[in-house]
Amino acid sequence: METIRESFCPVEETARIIGGKWTLLIIRDLATGTKRFTVLERSLGGISPKTLAERLRGLERDGVIRRASYAEVPLRVEYSLTAKGRALIPVIEAMRAYGSEWLSDACPPVDALRQA
C-alpha cells in the first residue's frame, strides 16, 4: 500500500516551488516582462544578491523562468517567465484579491499582470 509520503500531491509540489520567501514577488515582477538581475534586485528592495541568485536558479531549475545570457561586454543576463511561470499569474492575482479584501490596501493592483 502506498504511503502518503510516496504519493504525489499537487498542492505540496506547487508550495515547494513557490513557497520560498521572495519567490512569488520575483514571479510577480517577471509577469510584466523580461528583467535583468539588477532591475529585479532594485524592485525587491531588501533582498540580498545571494538570495536573489538562489531563487532565480531554483525557479530556472523548476522550469518557471528562463535565463538568457548574451555575449556582450559586460555580460547581459535576462530573466523571463516560461509558460509554466505565466500559469502562476492567476495564483498571484488571487492572492492580491484576497489580500485586498481581507488584509489591507497596502499593495495596489498591477494592471500589467493581466496583459502579460
Local confidence band at 116 (pLDDT 50, 70, 90 cut-offs): very low
Whole-structure pTM value:
0.80
CB atoms within 10 A of CB 59: 25
Domains in the chain, start-ordered, CATH in brackets?
A: 4-115 (1.10.10.10)
Q: For residues 68 and 78, is the Cβ–Cβ distance under 8 A?
A: yes
- Give the gyration radius of the chain's Cα atoms: 16
Average pLDDT over residues 79-105: 91
**Phi, psi values for residue 89, rounded to 5°:** -55, -45
- Grouping H, G, I as helix, E, B as strand and the rest as coil, residue 69 is strand
What percentage of the chain reaches a pLDDT higher than 90? 69
pLDDT for residue 99: 87
CB atoms within 10 A of CB 65: 23
